[in-house]
Structure 1
Amino acid sequence: MVEHDAFQKLLDSDLDGLLDMPEKPKKVTSSDRLERAFLEIVEFRRTYGRLPSPTTRAISERKLGARLDGIFADDDKIQALKHLDEFGLLDVPEAPRSIDELLEHDPFDLLGDETGIMDVSGLPARKQRFETEEVARRRPAEDFAEFAPMFQQKHAELRDGASELLPYSGMQHIVPGAFFVLNGVMLFVAEVGETEYKKSTVRENKRERLRCVFENGTESRMYRQSLGIRLADEDGQIVVPREQPEILTDDEVSGYIYVLRSRSTDPQIAGITDLHKIGFSRGPVETRIRNADKSPTYLMAPVDVVATYRVYNTRVSVLENLLHRVFADVRLDLTQVDKTGRNYDPTEWFVVPRNVIDQAIDLIISGEIVRYIYNADIRRLVERRDA
Structure 2
Amino acid sequence: MVKHTTDEDIDLLAELGVDTAPPPQVKRTPREERIIAGFEEIERFVTEQGRLPQHGEDRDIFERIYAVRLDRLRNSEECRALLEPLDSRGILNADTDFNLPPETDLDDEALLTSLGVEATPGNDITQLTHVRSRSVAGGKSRQEIKAAEEIAQRTPCQDFKQFKPIFKKVQQDLETGARETLKYRDDATVNQGDFFILDGQKLIVADLGEPFISDYGRPDRRLRVIYDNGTESNLLLRSLQRALNKDKTSRRITNPDFSSLPLFAQTEAEDDITTGYIYVLRSKSDDPFIVQNYELVHKIGVTVGDVKKRIANAKKDPTYLLAEVEIVATFKLANINPKKLEALLHKFFDNVRLDMELRDRFGIPVQPREWFLVPLEAIEEVIAKIKAGTIDQFRYDPETASLTRS
Q: TM-score range by the shorter chain?
A: 0.3 to 0.5
User: What TM-score, normalized to structure 1?
Assistant: 0.44
Q: Which has the larger Rg?
A: 1
Length-normalised TM-score, structure 2: 0.43
